[in-house]
Amino acid sequence: MLFVIAATVVACIFIGWSIGANDAANCVGSAIGSGKISFRVGIVLVSVFGFLGALLIGQNVIKTVGKGIVPLNTLDPTLALYIALSACFGAGLWVVFATFLKIPVSTSHSIVGAVGGAGLAVGAPIFWDKLLSIFIGWIATPFGAALIAYVCYYPFRFILYRLLPSRFRDRGLTILIVLATAYLAFSWGGNDVANATGVIIGSGLTSSFMATLIGASAIVLGIVTLGYRVIETVAFKITRFIPMMTLVAQFASALNVYIYTVMGIPVSTSHSIVGAVVGVGLATRKHVFDIKLVREIVFAWAITPFAAGFVALLLMTVIKLVARI
């Protein structure tokens, strides 16, 4: 039993690390691409505010991932641990694979699919109605972010270019981008820490605070060690970011993710920031997107819950045979 507990904690740290490595780009990629903040400043911002978001507002989504998909708290404790172990490793392996390909994927999709796959492997009850509400949130996320960005572009432009004196404009824009990036990192941390910690809290392995602290620390480790790979894609390959576009996209994505976090729904920051970028692009009518790359990213989004779920199902099946559950 001690080995299973240790392996589950390692799995939690592994998926937290993979989340930081892949999802940091969604918070700072456009800001770095605009040239308004450096790579180092971006890493510091997402690390600090992502950590704070995880600790301060992460509880709602943690409950959904830990108990709302498969009721881990009602299962046999050993079985719940095995499901948590399989789900964390299954989701983490898929996210790491995507990270090495430099493709931003949804870690929320990964863990939700992995929990469902591991649960199916042992015939555990699955709350399909909750899965449906999560799926609807996934579909709505990019469209909501695009709408917020499209609507916000015009008042933001009016404030910056009509009300703010020209001599303060550049510095003011930089400050606002830093604030919007911090807000996005905070919202992301609050939503995505559940992907690393929800299942171990649901299985009763540790307290909510301790699991959140472990998960948040693992996410920061992923940011500083491998986060640069996907940041390169988001910052420089999807489209050319101008500062005004970055400000609106960061703010719209942050507000979008924050709303879902308060509602306790795990959503994709990748979906949100890409949707916001598209919304600003539609508002300005000046930006050209790498359609081939966007198509590849959307395809990766679509297969993520199934791929992570399949890996977790295989892992759980092997564990079931070995442990004779």
Q: Where are the domains of the chain?
A: 2-323
Residues of the chain with pLDDT > 90: what percent?
26
Supply the pLDDT for residue 289. Answer: 63
pLDDT > 90? residue 169:
no
**Angle subtended at Cα 197 by Cα 93 and Cα 250, rounded to the nearest 5 degrees:** 80
For the four alpha carbons of 66, 229, 262 and 267, in that order, the dihedral sign comes to negative
Average pLDDT over residues 78-100: 89
- Rounded CA-CA distance 313/233 in Å is 30
Quote the tokens at residue 310.
């399949």
Supply the pLDDT for residue 283. Answer: 86
Closest by CA to 252, choosing from 278, 282, 281, 272, is 272
Supply the pLDDT for residue 181. Answer: 93
Closest by CA to 184, choosing from 324, 37, 48, 21, is 48
Task: Please enumerate in sequence order all residues whose Cβ is within 8 A of that of 181, keeping only pairs 6 or more positions apart, or say none.
Answer: 27, 28, 31, 37, 42, 45, 46, 250
Query: pLDDT confidence of 29, banded at 50, 70, 90?
Result: confident
pLDDT digits (tens, 9 = 90+) for 234-284: 666 666 677 888 899 999 999 999 999 998 888 888 889 888 988 888 888
Residue type for position 187: S
- Rounded CA-CA distance 11/88 in Å is 5
pLDDT > 80? residue 291:
no
Least confident of 24-28, 143-147, 292-296, 304-308: 292-296
Supply the pLDDT for residue 288. Answer: 59
pLDDT digits (tens, 9 = 90+) for 97-117: 988 887 778 888 898 899 999
Supply the pLDDT for residue 107. Answer: 82
Average pLDDT over residues 162-177: 84
**Total-model pTM:** 0.85
Which of 108 and 183 is assigned the larger pLDDT? Answer: 183
Q: Can you state the angle between helices 107-121 and 166-202, rounded to 10 degrees?
A: 10
Cα distances from 212 to residues 133, 163, 191, in angstroms, run: 24, 42, 12
Q: Which long-range contacts (CB under 8 A, 24 or more apart) does 125-133 make?
A: 125/70, 125/71, 126/69, 126/70, 127/68, 127/69, 127/70, 127/71, 130/64, 130/68, 130/69, 131/69, 133/265
Average pLDDT of every residue of the chain: 85
Quote the tokens at residue 65.
């991932």
- Rounded CA-CA distance 139/149 in Å is 17
Residue type for position 118: A
Which of 89 and 104 is assigned the larger pLDDT? Answer: 89
Supply the pLDDT for residue 183. Answer: 96
- Rounded CA-CA distance 70/29 in Å is 34
Number of alpha carbons in the 13 Å side-chain half-sphere of residue 162: 6
Cα distances from 241 to residues 35, 105, 171, 280, 287, in angstroms, run: 8, 20, 17, 10, 8
Supply the pLDDT for residue 287. Answer: 59
Supply the pLDDT for residue 184. Answer: 94
Residues of the chain with pLDDT > 70: what percent?
95
- Rounded CA-CA distance 273/253 in Å is 5
Q: Are 196 and 84 in contact (CB under 8 A)?
A: no
Return the DSSP state at 67: I
Supply the pLDDT for residue 148. Answer: 96
Alpha helix segments (H runs only) across the chain: 2-33, 39-57, 59-63, 77-100, 107-121, 128-158, 166-202, 208-226, 228-236, 243-263, 269-284, 291-323
